[in-house]
Structures are given as C-alpha cells and as structure tokens.
Chains A and B, each alone.
Chain A
Amino acid sequence: AQSVTQLGSHVSVSEGALVLLRCNYSSSVPPYLFWYVQYPNQGLQLLLKYTSAATLVKGINGFEAEFKKSETSFHLTKPSAHMSDAAEYFCAVRSDTGRRALTFGSGTRLQVQP
C-alpha cells in the first residue's frame, strides 16, 4: 500500500526566499506523484504531477518538484516566495495498480512573511 509523509506541518519563509516543502512516499510500484495547493476555504488545485516522463517537473505559479527514486522523495520548491503563495500544500501518491484513488499526506501550511 502506498503512503505519503510530509515533513513539517508548518513552514514559514520570508517573501523572496526559497520555498522547500518536503514529501517522501512509500509505494510498492513506481508511483504517480502529485502536489496540490489549497487556499483558505477553497478546494484543491493541482500544482504539478510526476508521471515518469521526466524527473524534474514544472508546475504552475513557478513551482517545481524533483522525483528522486533513491530517496523516495518528491520535494516541492520555488526559488522566490510571494505573499500569494501562503496556503496549505498537499503531496499525494497514486499507484498504477489496484485502487487508483489518491493517498494524501497530512499537509504543510506555508506562511510567507513580508
């Protein structure tokens, strides 16, 4: 069964600083990996997804993530934080066999300080 661990329930950065949100996964088969963002009182919006085409995945709003099989990681980064990036971020995994629903991590709330 697949699972996702997000390290750090809260991350605070200054505006203009690097954003790094950590995600480690566990899956018995090569995974599909996703990052979603949730703004207050809204639904989930897809930032990016890894589907084995390329290990470095670029998403919307300047975010990107790198799939590292040896580390079972899929960390999300953005070179320069903007105030509008303040939100909750979820990493998710979907196996290619069996149940095809997404399994989510517990989320990381990103604060951006002026």
Chain B
Amino acid sequence: NAGVTQTPKFQVLKTGQSMTLQCAQDMNHNSMYWYRQDPGMGLRLIYYSASEGTTDKGEVPNGYNVSRLNKREFSLRLESAAPSQTSVYFCASSEVAQTGVGGYTFGSGTRLTVV
C-alpha cells in the first residue's frame, strides 16, 4: 500500500544512547517532515525537508539531526537521548503544488521512551 512507513514502531533507550528513526514514502512526494507529539501539545515540527537535498529546522530541533538520504527517505537521529525526548514521533510527506495544496500523509508513528 502506498504511504509513509516508519521504523521502528517502539523503542526504549537509555539516557545518552543514540538511535536513528527511519522514514520512507513511496508517493514521490517532494516534502517530508518530522513531528513529535506530546500530551496536550499537539504535534510540533522538529525538522522538515522541502525537497531532496534540503533540510530546515522546525519549532523544536534541539537534540535532533536529520538526513534526507534521497527523495524517498528522511531519517531523524538522536545523538544523545534525554528523558525529555520521550515522545511519539511522526513522519509525514506532502506534495506542494504551485497552486492549491496537496495532501499530507502521516506514518503510524514511533513511540520512543528514554529512561
């Protein structure tokens, strides 16, 4: 099925460990995004990539890095995990048209716990 695939679905890390969250889309979308979801705060943008080869910071980029590996894949890396990074992480992709607005498709999320 076409869509956005995130791996892993669940992860427990110890403080200071590193890990990479993977995201891939097969809709040929140009733009990709990483959000984190915390209770009562909605989804907040961590990083986004408007097109292959470009990345920009969102609202809450501290403690994260990203890589737009190719048009399909956009990974999020935690270099030294902290308990404050315990959250549910969502990847999304979209096609930004010259006029109007394309659809945004979300992955099913990665539930990360840092102990």
Complex alpha-carbon distance, A42 and B61, angstroms: 24
Complex alpha-carbon distance, A101 and B60, angstroms: 13
Assess the B94–A100 pair: CB atoms within 8 A. yes
From B65-73, B76-84, B97-105, the one touching the partner chain is: B97-105
B53 interface contact, C-beta 8 A: no
Assess the B42–A100 pair: CB atoms within 8 A. no
* Number of cross-chain contacts by CB at 8 Å: 52
Across the interface, B33 reaches (CB within 8 A) one of A36, A42, A101, namely A101
B106 interface contact, C-beta 8 A: yes
Assess the B45–A100 pair: CB atoms within 8 A. no
Assess the A51–B40 pair: CB atoms within 8 A. no
| Contact partners of A43 in chain B: CB under 8 A | 90, 106-109
From A12-20, A59-67, A72-80, A103-111, the one touching the partner chain is: A103-111
| Contact partners of A107 in chain B: CB under 8 A | 40, 42
Q: Please count how many residues in chain A sit with their CB below 8 Å of the partner chain's CB atoms.
A: 23
| Contact partners of A34 in chain B: CB under 8 A | 104
Q: Please count how many residues in chain B sit with their CB below 8 Å of the partner chain's CB atoms.
A: 25
B112 interface contact, C-beta 8 A: no
Q: How far does the Cβ of A30 sit from chain B's closest Cβ, in whole Å?
A: 11
Assess the A105–B106 pair: CB atoms within 8 A. no
Assess the B31–A104 pair: CB atoms within 8 A. no
Which residues of B line the A interface, CB within 8 A?
31, 33, 35, 40-45, 48, 50, 56, 58, 90, 92, 94, 96, 100-101, 103-104, 106-109
- The list of the 6 closest CB pairs from A to B, nearest first, reads A104-B42, A104-B43, A44-B106, A106-B42, A43-B108, A43-B106
